[in-house]
Each structure stands twice: as structure tokens, then as C-alpha cells.
Amino acid sequence: MKKKNSKMELKKKVYLGTFVLATTILLSSCSSTNNFKDKQQVKEDPYNITLKESRTNVKINIISTTSKIADKKERHYQYTDESENNYLAGMPIILDKGKEATIKVSNKSSTTTNVHWHGLSIPNNQDGPDITLNNKGEKTFKITPKESGTFWVHSHYRPVETQVTKGMYAPIIIRTETDKKYDLDEVMMLGDIQESNEQNSMMAGMNMDDMDMSGSASITDTINGKKIASNLKIEGGQIGKLRFINASANNFKTIKFPFKVRVIAKDGYNLEQAYETQNFNIAPGQRLDVEVVLTGKESKTYTIKDGNAKVKLIYKGNDKSKAISPFIPLKADNLEKYVSDKAPDISMKLTEEMEMNGSEMKMREMINGEVFPNTETFNVKVGQVYKVQFENADKMAGMSHPMHIHGAHFQIISKNGHPTNDTTWYDTYPMDQGIKTDIAIKFDEPGVWMVHCHILNHEDNGMMTSFTAK
């Protein structure tokens, strides 16, 4: 991607100026139900889940509050419980695979909202986009996780960008006995703060780590709600798991390590084959789990970075041998065999355009030339495998559209007609500009399931439709 171009400069001047007003109005209506003082310190890292117990009864309070985030006071929301912990990036919800959990969500902010259980395979009536929570509204969800891994919950109330940007989210960790074999198990919620919501909107979909941001609004990346996250600790002979969740409303994230890590899972599902890397990109809404194993007698302090956010890993050296990974590869059905030799059953063309509305200019983000709620709903049969083609025909600024599908995972089977040989299961995947990406998908639960760009500014501007599974 080019660092600067005339199209991006144009977007800086005109992209969604009216959205700032909406954001201001929304935040001014928030009540401060819990004001954390600067002197308050979290005694332990709430995102280190190594020794935390799984639960079958969970209570989530949605509050509006003011906290010190990235060295400045920020008015924001939290998904929290009634403890004294300051869950800047949402209270970790820890469940067991196969065990029913009762989750009671109470809206104690003055803002109307809802919840979406991102990535979970659950009955349609337990997914929350159609369940409105007004002030003092409550809803009890019954969830029996079918899969284990890293997921998250977040607001899906439009404008979604505003609520997610301001903290309406939390990690969901679904465990098995295998997870207990890790010496360190840490959630890494990736977010960001920007001085101008207008600037945040116009830069939506850009990888900020690869761009020259001089002269534009400053972006502060955060890990677990902080510019500098709580220290991690590991010793020689131990093995750790880091669970990365991109909770940014609009921005891709680039994670950089000073050593190699082993990628074992994406979007909550284990890979068929793990691989090593020192850095990776992660799109809004995506998750990625890695293993950390270090050896050697020399103690060191390493720094893991996401843009200008960082977390230190303190390594205590010894002469113990390398830990054995408890990772179990996923051997699942490859959907490609059902649809590889057929034309797409469903096609979605992704485009955007600028539109004059009186004296103002706004963006239209479209699927097949229409904006939600005027987009076509696609009818599918439960249990049948479908080939769906996403064509990113967006001509503006080289943007990728990370498309998220509720209620099902899918596999990438080809790009521009060339097989990918990718057996990974995704619920969110970046559709790159100029590429026709074919996926294979099967719905196991009936209902209306949304599909939308997880650059939430794009979703709010119309890039959303649905599958109706019967």
C-alpha cells in the first residue's frame, strides 16, 4: 500500500464529517455510573487467565465510565462485573466446551445497545443483534459452546463503530483440559484510540503500521486497554499461549515479536498444521493464538509490539529443555470437495462511492450495488454446502474488506480461480482489492445470519446483508 496518495487526502477532507456529530451526541448522553480514579491500580493482570476458573454463571454489566487509558482520561464503556477490577478491555468470560453457561447481560449505561457473540456456533435466538437492551434492560442468554478457542462479544447496535471504539466488547475464552497444560495463558485485546473520530472513519481499512501518519490525527494503539500492557512472565522449560483479538473498530493490526512464535489457531479453531513466524497481520474481528517457548540460561526482557503499543515479556533463564506443545491439530472436513467444480451459488460484489447529500458528502459502502437495509437477503438450506464468491471491486485507496459471517465458519477455496489449499476455518476474512475470493460455507443452525464488513464504519455505511437459513 502506498503511504500517501491523492485519493486518501481527499478522504481526509470529506469522509463522513457528519459522523462526528453523531458520536458527540451519543457520548454526551452516557451517564457515568462508575468513575475510576487515576490512583486506582489493578493489583493483578485481569487478562492473565492461567489460573482463573471457568464459569457456568456469568454476569456482565455494561457501564459508561471514565478511565485513564494511554496516559489520558477517556470516556468509554466497559463490559465488567461487580468486582473492583478495572477491565479496560472487557471482563474475560471463561467457559468450558460442552457445558451450558447462563450469561446475564445488564445495560447500566444510558445508551441503547445489544450484544453479538462473535464466532460462536449457537442458536439464532441466542445471538443478540436483534435483542435491544435499553437503559436498565437485561437479557439472559443460554450458551453451550460447541467449540473451544478464542472468541469475543461486542455491541452490534448501529452505529456499531461508535460503541465498539468506545469499549463495548470483551474476550470469550472456551477451554478444554488441554489449555491447562500451558504455563501462561494471556488474552491480548488489540484496540486503538484516535483524537478524531472523523479521521478514524476516513482511514478505515488501512494498515496504520505501514503508513506515514505525519500531519494526520494521532493514533494510540492499545493492548488490553493500555499503551503499555501488564508484563508477561515465563521461564525456560515453560510454554505460553497468547490469544490475540483485534477489537479495533476499523484498523488492521501488525504484531511484531523479537523471536519466533508458533501460530496454532485462527478465529477460534485450531489449525491443521501450525507454523512459525515473527510477525503477522490481523484484521478487525479476527483472532489468532500463538505459542511462546523460550530456552537458554540467560534471563532477558523482550518487547512485543502492536504499532505504538507494547507489552514486555520477562524471561527467566535456566538450563531446562524446550517444553512440549499440547497443541492438537484440527482434522476436520474440507468443504472444498463439495463445491470446487461448480460455479458460485451466491455472489457479492463489494464497492463504495462518495455521495452528495445537499452540501455534504458521505460514503456508501455497498453489496451488489445496494446499501443495508436494501441489500438482498440470500436464502440457504441448513446442512448444505454453498460456494459464495466475494469480489472486492472497490477502487478507492486499495482497501481490504474483512467480511464476517454470523453463525458459521467457512473455508477459503480459491482466489481468482486459483485453489488456495487452505484448510483453515474462518469467521472473518479480508477480501483484498481486485480479488474474487471463493469460500465454502455450511450453516448448521436455522435463522437470519448477518454478513458484513468488520471495518465497522463500512458496516454502518451499508456493507451488510444476511443469509436466511431454513
Cα dihedral sign for 459, 465, 468, 469?
Answer: negative
C-alpha cell at position 259: 523471536
pLDDT tens figures, 321-340: 999 999 999 987 899 999 98
Place of cell 496518495: 5
Higher pLDDT, 215 or 248: 248
* DSSP symbols for 413-460: EEETTEE------BSEEEE-TT-EEEEEEE--S-EEEEEEESSHHHHH
pLDDT tens figures, 260-275: 999 999 999 999 999 9
Cα three-residue angle 294-298-304, rounded to 5 degrees: 50
C-alpha cell at position 299: 534471563
Three-state DSSP state, 9:
helix
pLDDT tens figures, 112-152: 999 999 999 999 999 989 999 999 999 999 999 999 999 99
Place of cell 441448513: 382
12 has pLDDT over 70: no
Q: Quick one: DSSP state of residue 178?
A: G
Look at the domain 184-316 and name its fold. Answer: Immunoglobulin-like (2.60.40)
Distances (CA, A) of 131 to 49, 140, 450: 30, 11, 14
Using alpha carbons, select from 162, 161, 171 the residue that is nearest to residue 60. 171
**What's the pLDDT at 23?**
44
**Partners of 153 in the beta sheet?**
117, 170
Amino acid at 308: N
Distances (CA, A) of 140 to 129, 130, 208, 409: 14, 14, 38, 25
Give the rounded distance of the alpha carbon of 315 from its chain centre: 29
With the CA atoms of 72, 78, 80 and 83 taken in that order, what torsion angle do they form, in degrees rounded to the nearest 10?
A: 30
Range list for CATH 2.60.40.420 in the chain:
184-316, 336-469
Work out the number of other CB atoms within 10 angstroms of the CB of residue 464. 22
243 has pLDDT over 90: yes
Gap between the Cα atoms of 222 and 165, Å rounded:
12
pLDDT tens figures, 282-296: 999 999 999 999 999
Gap between the Cα atoms of 205 and 8, Å rounded:
12
Cα three-residue angle 236-240-242, rounded to 5 degrees: 145
Is domain 336-469 given the CATH code 3.30.70.1400 in the classification?
no
